[in-house]
Chains A and B, each alone.
Chain A
Amino acid sequence: MDGDTIQKELRRNRSTLVVVGLGVIAFGAWSVVKIVLMLLLDPDAFFETLGLTEIVSENAITRAVGFAVPGVFLALDLALRLFIGLRARREGLARKKAGMVYLVLACLLAVFTVWSDVSVLIQTLSAGEGIGASIVTYASKLSGTAGGDIDNAVVAIVVELTSLATMVELIVAAVRVKRFGRLAAAREA
């Protein structure tokens, strides 16, 4: 591969990193907005989705814990995505070193997401519902939202899959940037 092609691919993948880095942050922010809105507007439906209805209805303390625990996980998820997204942008803008940590975390997050989605899918399918009901159930478990109709369910699934695709694209672009960066450095040496 000649030097010009290497530089061109490096620029292309850095540009991708900048964009998908922002995308990862955006999806993290969207998750927060979605759950916060649910907790504000219809908390009972949210707890029902997570199977926590009985626990949170015991007393005020358990109810408070029922709000706090998802909040903590949300905050962790957002922090993780912020870190990954900002480091990816930093790598893409090529102004400072971004390290490998964000890439490792992105891989772990992607693997966890896939594992989680597949687990929920298996769980839904083994419940023995019809296809339409299965999609609705799956979407609601996936996104942590209440049941709803099939249109909302399809949208929810598409959003979740897009979020996963963005993360995968970030990983691929980051790996390519590192690869072409090494090639470019080797040529200069």
Chain B
Amino acid sequence: MQKDFHYYATYCAAYLAGYSHEESLVICYSAQFVDWCSKTLLSSLKAPLAAATTQLQLEMMDARTDPVGLQDITRIWASFHFLPRDLYAQRARCSKRYLHKYRLICGPNGDLAVDTVELAKGGSLQAAGVAMHVLADTWAHRNFAGTPSLVINNTDHYFYELLPDGAERHITFRHNPSAADDPEHSVYVSSIYQGSENSIMNLGHGRAGHLPDYSFIRYKYLPAWGDYEEIVKDNPADYRRAFGQMICAMKYLRGARDSFEKETYDTDAFAPWADEIDAILTKRQLDACADWKAFGEKLSGCEIPEFDVAAYQEEYRSAAKEQKDETFLGRFILAALAQKSMVTNKIYKSGSLLAGFSVDFEEKGLRGIRDYWKLAERMKGGAAE
């Protein structure tokens, strides 16, 4: 998903879940910030690099694709953008190596999605924002994995857009990253085919371009893992469910619901505006920010400021060391560390090393990565209370 949904639509969902305008702004800012918090940005803030929630294109170009490099890439992308649906999925007649990658395929309503929301319970608004980004992306990025893998993430020429009038139109992909997508002629940009299994070009939904991030589009294609089964992706329906599920999740985080369960969508909360939301989701446009912004401002009666990545950086930079964790970005960083730690641990416990090792500090008595000490100390302090 992109800014229109992660920032503006998340604001709308937060407001409908009962958060105030100011709280909704914190949540939606944090949700959008997940797409900006790279090692480059953290480095400029002298913040823990392990809290990175994304990688810039330039970082990915320089990323190593040896086993350690791949683990670093997978930790980021699987934790925040391609949350695995079923870490214990079974597949007949395949190697263990393939099975571990297959298990990283993203999808909604998995156990990890519930764990993500529950991890944010009792936490900061920034943690709620991080969880909403992850939750929303399980819908948009379903059927792709957050690890570079040709055999999972590749697609081929069989790519057809399902038009509103029922017709099908073949989608042409071109590989010029500076060219704009052309929805009128179904010409989109995607990453170029790379025969190497672990090429960065085969990470996530690169081979399908930005199609998963456009709310208006419906299409069918053959994913490499699908054994020639056709997958139909209905983005308007998926985005609608994502919206409803975010409202459910945020009501749970606020305490307005007792639990967060899979396959539950609070459609009643946005029923009065269902047509308006559907109109935004189905409008053929590459960027729906203006429409979602207008809708959000209509809901709350308050202005939603433009997303400014630098908004809270000076606060973090100028805070004293012992107070950095209490700043806006400090709270975001803690939430990011917790999410990454949780997902990496779950992947490790499933028997896969694709996200690297996960050390239980308490059990093993090991110190592990320095960046995570603060998390362990917080957890210990929380347990003591």
Contact = CB atoms under 8 A, between A and B. Distances in A.
B222 to A, nearest CB: 6
Contacts of A12: 228
A18 B157 CA distance: 10
Interface in A1-37: 7-9, 11-12, 15, 18
B157 A11 contact: no
Contacts of A15: 156, 158, 222, 228
B229 interface: yes
Interface string B279-303: 0000000000000000000000000
B230 interface: yes
B230 A7 contact: yes
Nearest to A15: B156
Contacts of B227: 8
A93 interface: yes
Contacts of B229: 8
Interface residues of B, number: 9
Contacts, number: 19
Interface residues of A, number: 9
Interface in B32-90: none
A8 B231 CA distance: 11
B241 to A, nearest CB: 25
Contact of B228 (A8, A18, A93, A95): A8
A11 B222 CA distance: 9
The A contact surface, by secondary structure, is helix
Nearest to B227: A8
- Residue among A7, A8, A12, A93 with max Cβ neighbours from chain B (10 Å): A8
A81 to B, nearest CB: 22
Interface in B147-206: 156-158, 170
A93 B157 contact: yes
Nearest to B170: A95
A181 to B, nearest CB: 15
B143 to A, nearest CB: 16
A7 B158 CA distance: 13
A11 B230 CA distance: 9
A95 B169 CA distance: 12
Contacts of B228: 8-9, 11-12, 15
Interface in A53-103: 93, 95
A97 B335 CA distance: 57
Interface string B216-237: 0000001000011110000000
A146 B230 CA distance: 50
A11 to B, nearest CB: 5
B93 to A, nearest CB: 16
A15 to B, nearest CB: 7
Contacts of A93: 157
17 contacts: A7-B230, A8-B227, A8-B229, A8-B230, A9-B228, A11-B158, A11-B222, A11-B228, A11-B230, A12-B228, A15-B156, A15-B158, A15-B222, A15-B228, A18-B156, A93-B157, A95-B170
Interface of A: 7-9, 11-12, 15, 18, 93, 95
Given A8-B227, A8-B229, A8-B230, 7 more contacts: A8-B228, A9-B228, A11-B222, A12-B228, A15-B222, A93-B157, A95-B170
| Nearest 4 Cβ contacts at the A-B interface | A12-B228, A11-B228, A8-B228, A8-B229
Interface of B: 156-158, 170, 222, 227-230
